[in-house]
Amino acid sequence: MNAGALLRASGLPQREARVLLAHVLGVPRERLIARPDTIVPDDSAGWFDALSRRRQEGEPLPYLIGEQEFYGRRFAITRDVLIPRPDTETLVDVTLRCLGGSKSPRMLELGTGSGCIAVTLKLERPDAELTATDLSLAALAVARTNTEAWAAAVELQHGNWFAAVEAAEPFDLVLSNPPYVAVGDPHLETLGHEPPLALSDGADGLRCLSEIIAGAGAHLKPRAWLVLEHGYDQAAAVGELMLNAGFSDVEVERDAAGRERVTRGRIRGVARPTDQR
| Among 181, 197, 237, 250, interactor with ligand GLN by CB under 6 A | 181
x-or-dash pattern for ligand GLN, window 196-215, by CB under 6 A? ---x----------------
Q: Which of 10, 234 has the CB closer to ligand GLN?
A: 234
Which residues have C-beta within 8 Å of that of residue 120, sequence separation ≥ 6? 70, 71, 73, 92
Q: Which of 89, 172 has the CB closer to ligand GLN?
A: 89
CA atoms 163, 164, 167, 173: torsion sign: negative
Q: Which stretch binds ligand GLN (CB under 6 A): 26-34, 46-54, 138-146, 175-183?
A: 175-183
Query: Using an 8 Å Cβ cutoff, are 88 and 68 in contact?
Result: no
Measure the CA–CA gap between 16 and 179, rounded to whole angstroms. Answer: 28
Q: Which of 65, 181 has the CB closer to ligand GLN?
A: 181
Print burial letters for 66-97: b (CB count within 10 Å at least 16), e (below 16): ebbebbeeebbbbebbbbbbebbbbbbbbbee
Measure the CA–CA gap between 8 and 143, rounded to whole angstroms. Answer: 36
Q: Which of 154, 228 has the CB closer to ligand GLN?
A: 228
Q: Which of 111, 170 has the CB closer to ligand GLN?
A: 111
> How many residues sit in the footprint of ligand GLN (CB under 6 A)?
9
DSSP conformational letter for 104 = S
| Among 62, 179, 195, 265, interactor with ligand GLN by CB under 6 A | 179
Residue 177 interacts with ligand GLN (CB under 6 A)?
yes
Q: Which stretch binds ligand GLN (CB under 6 A): 52-60, 98-106, 127-135, 173-181?
A: 173-181
Residue 100: closest CA among 277, 266, 271: 266
Query: Using an 8 Å Cβ cutoff, are 231 and 199 in contact?
Result: no
Q: Which stretch binds ligand GLN (CB under 6 A): 10-18, 54-62, 126-134, 179-187?
A: 179-187
Question: Distances from the Cα of 77 to the Cαs of 13, 68, 143, 184, 211, in angstroms?
Answer: 22, 7, 9, 26, 27
| Among 63, 75, 150, 180, interactor with ligand GLN by CB under 6 A | 180
Residue 131 interacts with ligand GLN (CB under 6 A)?
no
Cβ 23 to ligand GLN, closest distance in Å? 23
Q: Which of 232, 268 has the CB closer to ligand GLN?
A: 232
H/E segment holding residue 267: strand 260-267
Q: Which of 85, 254 has the CB closer to ligand GLN?
A: 85
Measure the CA–CA gap between 121 and 207, rounded to whole angstroms. Answer: 26
Give residues 74-93 in contact with ligand GLN (rule: CB under 6 A). Answer: 85, 87
Residue 157: closest CA among 172, 135, 129, 128: 135
Q: Interface with ligand GLN by CB under 6 A: which residues?
A: 85, 87, 177, 179-181, 187, 191, 199
